[in-house]
Amino acid sequence: MKKVVLITGATSGLGLNMAQKLSRNHYIVYASGRNISTHKDLPNLKFIYLDVTKEDVIKSAVDLIISEQGRIDMLINSAGIGIAAAIEEIDTQLVKEAFDINYMGIIRMVQYVIPPMRRAGGGKIINIGSIAGRVGLPFQGIYSSTKFAVEGLSEALRIELKPFGIHVVIIEPGNYRTNVSKNRTIIEPHSDSPYRKRLTNFFELLNKNITKGRKADYVGELILRIAHKKKPRFRYSTGRFYEIITPAIRFFMPSKLFHKILTYFYRI
């Protein structure tokens, strides 16, 4: 029997790559997002409208899948947005939006998916975190904050849901070559901003890191391996070597030195 997968934020970027990879490997995939008009359904791959900020829409999407398939074996929470700016200069409404999508969106999704998953005897919930969820990155402080919150949420869920046979996993990607910029809000500094020079350097490096990132296929392959595992581990970090080791080395050096390294790396 084919496993049924629901993926949020699956109309572009890593989410779309994961949906395509799983559907080609005999999973029934419901790829969801807010912009599905340009996508056509394929064998094992169906695009459905879903906005993780709207509970009624989430309920309708979950009810649709249950009515068609009878269960949801795996939920992948991939929907998210990024913000790049100096914290001092961010509109707090954008901060609320980031938390509403990146963090509250996951809570809304699991609250509707856990009950049918528990009734079915188990399943997997995979949350897409970030290396930025373990290291507070300069000029990405709001994004980092949302991903730090996802880390804590995922760990708590892992323990709460284990007795029901539901395995919670968090994946921490580094930079990958995707159209991530379409889901990232960049706040350009005003002409007399005290951050102007540093932000200019940061934005240049940010774009360069994305173009030099690994292929999105690596994450798709990782998702496939996790899907096949009966007992996946809690955390999977993926990316270039320095991205993977950065969260670990911070605990083996003084904060002052670690912050100097980040400052040097980001040229700020």
Q: Catalogue the active-site residues.
A: 143, 147
Q: For residue 21, what are the contacts with CB-CB under 8 A and spacing of at least 6?
A: 217, 220, 221, 223, 224
82 secondary structure, DSSP code? E
85 secondary structure, DSSP code? S
Extended beta strands in 2-69, E state? 4-7, 28-33, 45-49
239 secondary structure, DSSP code? S
Paired tokens of 200: 């200019």
Q: Is 90 helix (H, G, I), strand (E, B) or coil?
A: coil
CA distance 30 to 4: 8
Single-letter code of the amino acid located at 184: R
Please state, in angstroms and as integers, the Cα–Cα distance from residue 59 to each residue in 62, 66, 96, 171, 255, following that order. Answer: 5, 11, 22, 25, 44
> Among all chains, which residue has been given the structure tokens 């904050």?
145
- Return the exposure string of 2-28: e unless at least 16 CB atoms fall within 10 Å of the residue's CB, then b: ebbbbbbbbbbbbbbbbbbbbbebebb
- Contact yes or no for 242/129 (Cβ under 8 A): no
Paired tokens of 108: 């809304």
